[in-house]
Structure 1
């Protein structure tokens, strides 16, 4: 058995002259929650559509659960649950009847326990009380919950979820995050596409970062943090003089604000920074070395801002 639930090599998609996904090499370890992160428009959804066989890649290939795609689609896709680009259901059917139609279309589903599985899926996403309500009367958040219920109708070895908390209120977002963590604890691998840093920080152990169609980073979240260059912050009555000293020492991205000056440390030892400030006569009231937060990490990788809310 391969160690990876999702693998791709040179996965590429072009639409005319536009390169939407550019030679992406994914490696999603089994049993992990993998955060597939990037700004909107970075190529995440197009990559997911190729992984699931919804569109054909222009170049490259991939495997799901050790099966090369698309040759192994009939064997592997029944083991995969997915939520891609928002839900689509019959508007005049209830939530439970929509799930019954989906389950009946699954040739691998166990008919004997269909009602129990459907009820369980609805309860797990918080729709038990609204099961008989027509889909057209569902809010955006309820529709998203129903799509997630459809993805977990049967036990899945792999879940591929594209923005699963879209449209949910803060309570619903927390519930879905708890559900994803529980599914991973039960043995499922989860590929979670998101632009929310809070989702990655709270439930993901591995990350891949997309930017303009390219995979610009891929590692455990801990390793990504370890590779980041820390910043120094100096509290002083003369922040502009402190900033000048930091620049002279070779620190980059030096900024001032209020009674602080800060910059990216690089290879310079922190004690040399303090010594240089004191030697220059800059009064140092406070000094700290601060690891960059997730927002700084990903902005450094992509040059773009991320949504840190949710």
Structure 2
């Protein structure tokens, strides 16, 4: 991961993202190989690396009958490198940054899932961090909370932190991240910038029509690859890889074959296209 990047660790549930994160944080040991975090081998030098790392793994867990503020006080007190003299100001700053100051003195058990998620992020921000590892940070957040986390991650990266976001939500990764790694069945299939990953898959075209069978036959004859049809109401949406076919030749050929063309566009590659191209199977887009 490049320093200062927002890295989307992308993959469906069960692909191995959280297991990988737990190995990076020294919570479990790999069966082979040696992960490094900030240049330090893990777990051999975990005590040197982890003070520079803030993390949220597998959801928040706090004392239910303590307030959000008191939970952060206890969390900060457990950090041997944290200054007791500055604890109050650092805790207030972390609460303010995640938008929880108005609810700071409310018991944790009364927090919504989104508030609990933000409190966990606040816990990761109690000290200056070079690296933040956030496992599904927008889980349970409403659209407003999701936007707040998105802006928070951008601000942290602008301040010089490197951020790893594990997620199965393609739209969030596409909006937040500068770099992406695609995980599937325990293997990292590809990684790079968004543009680099999109370049690995062929451009696509999308056609809306009421005659999908004839349309697919003509598209195959032209040389378009892997056409697939999906029903949308009374019509069908057909996607196909462009390959070496000229876009300008497609619609005239369809019209000449008496195919009703209700909509047509050459589509830029999305992360969903990248994932399908790498793994050959679909992906949970909405979460």
TM normalised by structure 2 equals: 0.89
Aligned alpha-carbon RMSD (Å):
2.3
Alpha-carbon distance in 2 for matches of 1:109, 1:235: 59
Label 1:236 to 1:46 Cα distance change in 2 as closer, same or farther (>3 A): closer
Q: Distance in 2 between matches of 1:141 and 1:275?
A: 51
* 2:276 maps to 1:299: yes
Identify if the C-alpha distance between structure 1 residues 281 and 55 changes in structure 2 by more than 3 Å, giving closer, same or farther: closer
134, 139, 146: which one aligns with 2:112: 139
1:87–1:147: 8 Å Cα contact kept in structure 2? yes
Query: Which piece of structure 1 moves more, 151-160 or 83-92?
Result: 83-92
CA distance in 2, matches of 1:202, 1:102: 31
Q: Secondary structure at the match of 2:128?
A: coil
Q: CA deviation at 1:287?
A: 5.6
For residues 294 and 125 of structure 1, the distance between their equivalents in structure 2, rounded to whole angstroms, comes to: 28
2:68 is matched with: 95
Check if 1:156 corresponds to 2:134: no
Asked if 1 retains the 8 angstrom alpha-carbon contact of 2:205 and 2:267, the reply is yes
Q: For residue 118 of structure 1, what is the aligned residue in structure 2?
A: 91
2:181, 2:285 → 1: CA distance? 16
**Whole-Å Cα distance in 1 between the matches of residues 80 and 272 of structure 2?**
44
Please list, as runs of the form range in 1=range in 2, the aligned pairs for 1:187-198 lying within 5 A after superposition: 187-198=160-171
| SS of 2:66 mapped into structure 1 | coil
The aligned length equals 281
* SS of corresponding position for 1:81: strand
Q: Could you tell me how far apart the structure 2 residues matched to 1:237 and 1:136 are? A: 53
- Secondary structure at the aligned position of 1:199 is classed as helix
Contact 2:136 2:165 in 1 (8 A): yes
- Asked if residue 30 in structure 1 is aligned to residue 8 in structure 2, the reply is no
Partner of 2:244: 267
Higher strand proportion (structure 1 or 2): 1
Distance 2:208 2:124 in 1: 52
Deviation at 1:300, TM superposition (A): 3.0
Mapped partners of 2:102, 2:208: distance in 1: 55
TM-score (norm 1): 0.82
Equivalent of residue 55 in structure 2, options 55, 60, 82: 82
SS where residue 277 of structure 2 aligns?
Answer: helix
Whether 1:165 and 2:143 are equivalent positions in the alignment is no
